[in-house]
Chain A
Amino acid sequence: MMEPWEENESPVKKFMFVNRKAPYGTVYALESLEVVLISAAFDQDVSLVFVDDGVYQLKKNQSTDGIGMKNFSPTYNALGDYDINKIYIEAESMKERGLTLEDLQELTYEDEDDDWAEKSSINVVSRAELAELMDAQDVVISS
């Protein structure tokens, strides 16, 4: 009997990367982003979630001058070029932290089905909507 992944050479699975931690303080955010970028090479259906303190990862105008660490926040801009354009931010997490979309950096991609129009990759979703999105995934990697 054929296993599901043997039906074609490169099965596409839904991968969701859930970012829950602040960008600095621990290495989780940086090393999660490294997995995300690698996953793009596998032509999978990739989405990113920012929830809890993870919403701070997308804060605009980050500066790490005072802490002697590399500011990796510009790397999020590259996600669109990697065809990673499903980015979900949990509304409740932003509200709890007094953040609005204005406080976050813009993330865009060029839509090949719409004459390469530049569109926002960011979707604000409720906690309940996020639960449904997670339920629809094959692989959830959270850090």
Chain B
Amino acid sequence: MKFTILINEGPYQHQASDSAYQFAKAALEKGHEIFRVFFYNDAVNNATRLSVPPQDDRNVTENWAALAEQHNLDMVVCIAAAQRRGMLDAGEMERQGKDANNIHPAFRISGLGQLVEGGIQSDRLVTFGD
């Protein structure tokens, strides 16, 4: 089956991203396909490459990045939600005239149309959040 995963909550504060990660991992292990993982609302914060969790805790962003690397996952961060919350890649940093960027290279920034397309192209759209 082909899935798109929608995550709506930030890392650590909420388990949504961890649950989505476990779901994605299990689905891929069972031979299913992940068309896209879309990060919306506070979930855009999952894409920061600057987080420094304690060494005995999981690193949510790196978990996603490793899974993406292994399975060639398309991980999309909503641009409108990201800009509100100070999540920028190098291109947006330049365009907005900011002095830093923080998006992990495993993620890409794009529009909400990518979420709608995920719903159209996938057999199931699964949401993780409140």
> In the complex, A138 Cα to B120 Cα: how many Å?
9
Say whether B8 contacts A42, CB under 8 Å: no
Say whether A15 contacts B113, CB under 8 Å: no
- Give the number of residues in B that approach A within 8 Å (Cβ atoms): 20
Contacts of A143 on B, CB cut-off 8 Å? 8, 41, 129-130
Is the C-beta of B117 less than 8 angstroms from some C-beta in chain A? yes
Contact of B113 among A5, A28, A31, A42 (CB under 8 A): A42
Known: A28-B8, A141-B119. 11 other contacts (CB 8 A): A27-B41, A31-B41, A34-B112, A35-B112, A38-B112, A38-B115, A42-B113, A42-B116, A139-B119, A143-B8, A143-B129
Is the C-beta of B6 less than 8 angstroms from some C-beta in chain A? yes
Majority SS at the chain B contact face: helix
Is the C-beta of A13 less than 8 angstroms from some C-beta in chain B? yes
Contacts of A34 on B, CB cut-off 8 Å? 80, 112
Ranked nearest first, the 4 interchain pairs of A and B with the lowest CB-CB distance are: A139-B119, A38-B112, A39-B116, A42-B116
Say whether A13 contacts B119, CB under 8 Å: yes
